[in-house]
Structure 1
Amino acid sequence: MNSTALSPCCEEAPVRLAPRQATPTCGEALVTLLERYGVEFVFGIPGVHTVELYRGLAASSIRHVTPRHEQGAGFMADGYARVTGKPGVCFIITGPGMTNIATAMAQAYADSVPMLVISSVNARRELGSGDGRLHELPSQRDVFAGLTAFSHTLLDAADLPQVLARAFAVFTSQRPRPVHIEIPLDVIVAPAPGLAGTPVVFATRPAPDAAALKAAARRLATAKRPLILAGGGAVQAGEALRALAERLQAPVALTINAKGLLPPGHPLLLGSTQSLPETRALVREADVVLAVGTELGETDYDTLFNGGFAIDGQLIRVDIDAAQVMRNFRPDVAIVGDAREALAGLGAALEESVLSAPSHAWGAAGVTAVRDAIAASHDAPMRAQALLIETIADALPGVTVVGDSTSPVYVGNFTFDAHAPRAWFNSSTGYGTLGYGLPAAIGAKLAAPQRPVVCLIGDGGLQFTMPELASAVEAAVPVIVIVWNNHGYGEIRKYMSARDITPVGVDPYTPDFIALARGFGCAARTAADPAALREALEDAQASRVPMVIEIREADWFARVID
């Protein structure tokens, strides 16, 4: 049969839709409302089930970015959201487009990242029919209910403003997580007169309870060994956190997503070392622990999976999520509300109190002892990889480093102190996916084009999403991609060997990354030592196209390790 007689599956077969209306459609009203909510970018791959969402997009202020896979769309939206604090928005096709983006939604869900996924779905009369229609799932909404704050089917165009308001209430006033809104094909094209003019209202975050703040302040005021654990939920509360820590002389440990809340070199900063014995011992010595905006979960507090993290003192927890306050470690005082307001409220309450004198060797002295002991325990490969990250930070002031699950990122999670919040994040926490780094870095660069953005990724992870280099070239996003090449899944290889398992499946073929990068339209080069890396980074800063810098682990270790 002549190929022109077939509709390619990836482009989908034509769908019968209603004639074009003179009145704005639901799809057009959606674009206008998204503009009014401040949406700057939409990430997606158009298909015949979503083209009506695009009808008003070209005339809007919203820029569309086309990834090479819907998973890439989700990771781009994630990177954009982490840098800005605003939701990343995706337009996704019914069925396979949604199952493709599922991993990105799960990563965002695990890390409390705001993401709005708007998809098509089959027409209302066809929902759940099982007729074998194009892209049909038994219930698309049910598939994604567990990956979202909520998943909603828009059955009437008139309900669009209300559903969007619910979504943005999640993003601005609750624990931020993905929201999925699916719009049936017949609803997308339904007339929607007046919807675009519906007033937009942003919900505010709940204030913490005054009595709970006072109860917590009383415990902190009498503490002789106070300590603070801060997570990504406190990312907007840096000033209040620093003021409170300094008043209490409390050591501060930060989760990966909270890096930068205290600046590098701050005398009370423990870093992100809660999984290491030295920091764990200090936490157990604390008589009062204040945990702010943190799950107290495994991927920040037990990355070695040995179950050794414990809190022996009194525990005060602050979180915007009432359920999370009671998970993992049950508190003595629970404060539900905005982290910034809670920390400011605690600071104000303590101003009226006479604080107990800190115990000897607590505060800055205790932090110094812990950090010195941890630094002394680093082996040569770890120091060599820490030097890689230090070189990046030194060569690119103000850099945002977006990481994947790869060895130097694991090292940086322990050793690197970011210069500001939202400047170091990666997929090694929470859901822990591979392939995140490149598309997320593209989203981060779109969010902050004036800043240098580096993707730090392994050779295995890059092969998951390498086609997104073409997306970066097409979108004119000069992101810098540093590939740590250890010729396979090096961390899993070591993990298997440590358990006396003969390594299998961890040595995939490694392509020529330099040739592939140039084929995608990127600049590309190798760097074998810090001087060569610095030179490459300086060239990348001046480049108008993405640059891929390959670092071969064996070469780097040979040059750097004495």
Structure 2
Amino acid sequence: MTTCGEYLVKQLQAWGVDSVFGIPGVHTVELYRGLPHSTIRHITPRHEQGAGFMADGYARVTGKPGVCFIITGPGMTNILTAMAQAYADSIPMLVISSVNERERLGLGKGYLHELPNQRALVAGVSAFSHTLMSVEELPGVLARAFAVFEGERPRPVHIELPLDIITADAGHMAVAAKPSIQRPAAPRGLIREAAAMLANAKRPLLLLGGGCVTAQAEARALASALDAPTALTINAKGLLPADHPLLLGSNQSLLPVRLLALEADVILAIGTELGETDYDVVFDGNFKLGGELIRIDIDAQQLQRNFTPTLAIQGDARQAMQQLLQELPARQDDPRSPGVQRTAAVQTQLAEDFSGWVHYRQLFATLLEALPEARFVGDSTQTVYSGNHLVELDGARRWFNSSTGYGTLGYGLPAAIGAKLAEPSRPVICLIGDGGLQFTLAELASAVEARVGVIVLLWNNAGYGEIKRYMEKRDITPLGVDIYTPDFLALARGFGCAAERARDHAHLDELLRQAPDDRPLLIEIAEAPPFHP
């Protein structure tokens, strides 16, 4: 007999799933029956939240859904935070859980791991949640999930299998072919209207978000065709290379870029929420748009949130860019063009604003000198906040962190593990603080077990430094922020990692170049000279 659990594994493998993140439990062991006979790799985190964050990091690198096997009850409550971060950042994640037998659902009799309603629990952090009531439903529900991942705004999907369904006979079912899913194309008439508005613009501005990560070549061509200064959200970093003459970076919260946005006569925003954590990290409500706004997004509802557009176009970002490029007049690159000059003026002003950030510039210069192809996966910590403004990379999907959207702590380490598993050949640097690392410190064991050579750059300020400064600015006596700081080097070595404290930038460079390939390296740097004056 082939059980439903075994059939599920075959179906996932046939549809391109190569990794599953999960912790086996008595309610999920039957999901594991088919894994040893498949090509799917299983990674065991030390907490279901870690499983979700690993799946998130994997998905951001590959573009494929990160898949998790989660137990009933506490497994579901544990993974909710990771699902919420993925939901906020539009990351594809497939969470497959068990649930009590069909005849026991919702009775409240105190069965093992029982919750009144798991689907209600995850409703706010998933595109949809489905309880499988028969084996025959499974291919169709998986097809719906992949339609979310590949055909619309990607977000987590939850499918729960009752215990009696997991073990039910599925021998009569053939593995279904993966459906062919096309993202919606923007209406040609609206694209032509947008192109006419942009062709007549004197001071255009281009705003690109994470929805554009698959359109790197198109983004660069569009910026040049429009001669438009271009700002990128955190998840869009790398769409324009570091030396692009039209790149404004991710500095929409700073005055020089805000003034440019006010002066622009036509603004084109593609694949971006225009949300607070990318456009107003100073939380003063002063990012404003002065001209006509054209928005392109795959999510029709998002087109009307935050800023009401003059012209709203629903469609896939990459296809829409390609269509626009066909409609726009050709333009030769000119280092003296108005757009380049406007960008250069803003960059000069930004350089003055960042003049006191020399220590952060030197830190990232050291990192990129030693590992120029590195991917940076971050938590909510000072190195991430500064890098969001300062760091530019020559490729998308190389910089992401949890300071955007949901803004959780503890994301950096497990997400970096998932990113390294997704592309083992590329160095991965986890940017994390001492407070955030203590949320998911145990995932160092997962990385050692999986032989993942991720570099953990630990910014140690002995507490929740950013929150402490926030309290002090508001004349609130700091409380709960000066937390006990353990010996991270001893802890990391106890987990089986390499661990060192960098003395200075030269020593940091040496450690980076000698990082092992088969286990994590934790490098501690203190928020003190030479890394911070």
Flag whether TM exceeds 0.5 (same fold).
Answer: yes
Q: What letter is aligned with 2:379?
A: D
Counterpart check, 1:178 vs 2:152: no
Q: 1:257 aligns with which of 232, 235, 244?
A: 235
Picking from 281, 284, 297, the partner of 1:306 is 284
Deviations 1:52-83 (A, max 9, x none): 00010011000000000000000000000000
Is the Cα–Cα contact under 8 Å of residues 238 and 395 in structure 2 kept in the other structure? yes
Please say if residues 527 and 533 of structure 1, whose CA atoms lie closer than 8 Å, have aligned partners that are also in contact. yes
Match of 2:498 in 1: 523
Letter in 2 for 1:537: L
- Are the counterparts in 1 of residues 448 and 518 from structure 2 also a CA contact under 8 Å? no
1:368-391 CA-to-partner distances (Å, cap 9, x unmatched) read: 1111211211253x3212321221
Counterparts of 2:332 and 2:440, CA distance in 1 = 54
1:555 to 525, 529, 533: 529
| 1:455-466 to 2 correspondences below 5 Å | 455-466=430-441
The number of residue pairs the alignment matches comes to 532
Deviations 1:204-224, CA, capped at 9 Å, x for gaps: 111111111011011001001
Match of 1:166 in 2: 144
What does residue 354 of structure 2 align with?
Answer: 378
Q: Choose from 481, 498, 520 the match for 1:546.
A: 520
How many angstroms apart in 1 are the aligned matches of 2:303 and 2:467? Answer: 33
- Report the 3-state secondary structure (helix = DSSP H, G, I; strand = E; otherwise coil) of the residue aligned with 1:554: coil
Flag the 1:369–1:28 CA change in 2: closer, same or farther, 3 A: same
1:413 counterpart = 2:388: yes
Q: In the alignment, is residue 431 of structure 1 matched against residue 401 of structure 2?
A: no
Shift of 1:26: 0.8
Q: Deviations over 1:289-327 (max 9, x none)?
A: 000000000010000000010011000001000110111
| 1:237 aligns to 2:215 (yes or no) | yes
Conservation of the 8 A alpha-carbon contact between 2:402 and 2:409: yes
**Alignment TM-score, normalising by the size of structure 1:** 0.93
Look up the match of 2:344.
368
Match of 1:285 among 224, 248, 263: 263
CA drift at 1:356: 13
1:195: which partner in 2?
Answer: 173
Match of 2:368 in 1: 393
Matched, 1:534 2:506: no
Q: How far, CA to CA, are the matches of 1:356 and 1:76 in structure 2?
A: 44
Kindly indicate whether the alpha-carbon contact (under 8 Å) linking 1:399 and 1:452 is maintained by their aligned counterparts in 2: yes
SS of aligned partner of 2:410: coil
SS at match of 2:347: helix
1:253, CA displacement in angstroms? 0.1
Q: 1:141 aligns with which of 114, 119, 125?
A: 119
1:453 — aligned with what? 428
Three-state SS of the structure 2 residue aligned to 1:555 is: coil
Q: What SS class does the counterpart of residue 451 from structure 1 fall into?
A: coil
Q: Deviations over 1:422-477 (max 9, x none)?
A: 00000000000000000000000000000000101000000100110000000010
Match 1:315 to one of 282, 289, 293: 293
Q: Which amino acid aligns with 2:520?
A: P
**Contact 2:225/2:329, CA 8 A, preserved across alignment:** no
Q: 1:338-366, CA deviations, whole angstroms, 9 ceiling, x for partnerless residues?
A: 101101101101138xx8999x9831111
- Percent of aligned positions with the same letter in both sequences? 63
Q: Which amino acid aligns with 1:369?
A: A
Listed one character per residue, the Cα deviations across residues 405-435 of structure 1 (whole Å, up to 9, x for unaligned) are 0001000001111221000000000000000
Partner of 2:530, secondary structure, is helix
Contact 1:173 1:206 in 2 (8 A): yes
Q: CA RMSD in A?
A: 1.5
Q: Which letter does structure 1 place at the counterpart of 2:52?
A: G
Q: How much has 1:198 moved relative to structure 2?
A: 1.8
Q: Is contact 2:203-2:263 (8 Å) kept?
A: yes
Task: Return the alpha-carbon distance in structure 2 between the equivalents of residues 370 and 114 of structure 1.
Answer: 36
Contact persistence 1:168–1:202 (CA under 8 A): no
> What is the rounded CA distance, in whole Å, between the counterparts of 1:556 and 1:161 in structure 2?
57
Alignment partner, residue 184 of structure 2: 206
* Partner-residue secondary structure (3-state), 1:465: coil
2:56/2:91 contact within 8 Å kept: yes
Instruction: Find the residue that maps to 1:182 and give its secondary structure.
Output: strand
Q: Report whether the alignment pairs 1:476 with 2:451.
A: yes
- Check the 8 A contact 2:227/2:337 in 1, yes or no: no
Q: Please give the secondary structure, in 1, of the residue aligned with 2:103.
A: helix
Q: Could you tell me which residue of structure 1 aligns to residue 467 of structure 2?
A: 492
Q: Contact 1:32–1:196 (CA<8 Å) still a contact in 2?
A: no
- Alignment-derived partner of residue 105 in structure 1: 83
Indicate if the aligned counterparts of 1:225 and 1:288 stay in contact, CA closer than 8 A. Answer: yes
* Correspondence for 1:330: 308
- Note if contact 2:452-2:517 (Cα within 8 Å) is conserved in structure 1: no
Code of the residue aligned with 2:43 in structure 1: it is V
* Mapped contact 2:224–2:333 kept (Cα < 8 A): no
Structure 1 residues 69 and 218, CA, compared in 2 at 3 Å: closer, same or farther? same
Gaps of 5+ in 2: none
* Aligned residue type for 2:310: D
Work out the CA distance in 2 between the residues paired with 1:367 and 1:510: 44
Check whether the contact 1:44–1:90 (CA below 8 A) recurs between aligned residues: yes
Secondary structure in structure 1 of the residue aligned to 2:224: helix
Q: 1:58 is paired with a residue of what secondary structure?
A: helix
Distance 1:135 1:442 in 2: 28
The equivalent position to 1:34 in structure 2, one of 4, 12, 18, is 12
Q: Match of 2:363, as an amino acid?
A: L
The offset of 1:398, in angstroms, is 1.0
1:269 aligns with 2:243: no
Aligned to 1:441: 416
Higher mean displacement: 179-188 or 524-533: 524-533
SS at match of 1:176: coil
SS of the residue corresponding to residue 496 of structure 2 reads: coil
Q: Which amino acid aligns with 2:362?
A: L
AA in 2 matched with 1:282: L
In 1: Cα distance, 2:478 partner to 2:81 partner: 26
In 2, Cα distance between the equivalents of 1:226 and 1:422?
26
Report if aligned partners of 1:457, 1:481 keep a CA contact under 8 Å in 2.
Answer: yes
| Cα distance in 1 for residues equivalent to 2:174 and 2:56 | 26
Per the alignment, in what secondary structure is the counterpart of residue 528 of structure 2? helix
- Secondary structure at the aligned position of 2:283 is classed as coil
User: Residue 139 of structure 1: CA displacement?
Assistant: 0.4
Q: Which of 196, 200, 204 is equivalent to 1:226?
A: 204
Aligned residue identity for 1:285: E
Following superposition, the deviation at residue 543 of structure 1 comes to: 4.1
Paired with 2:55 and 2:284, the residues of 1 have a C-alpha distance of 34
Give the aligned partner of residue 11 of structure 1. Answer: none
Q: Which residue of 2 aligns with 1:4?
A: none
Give runs of ≥4 in structure 1 deviating > 6 Å: 355-358
- Structure 2 CA distance, aligned partners of 1:440 and 1:350? 40
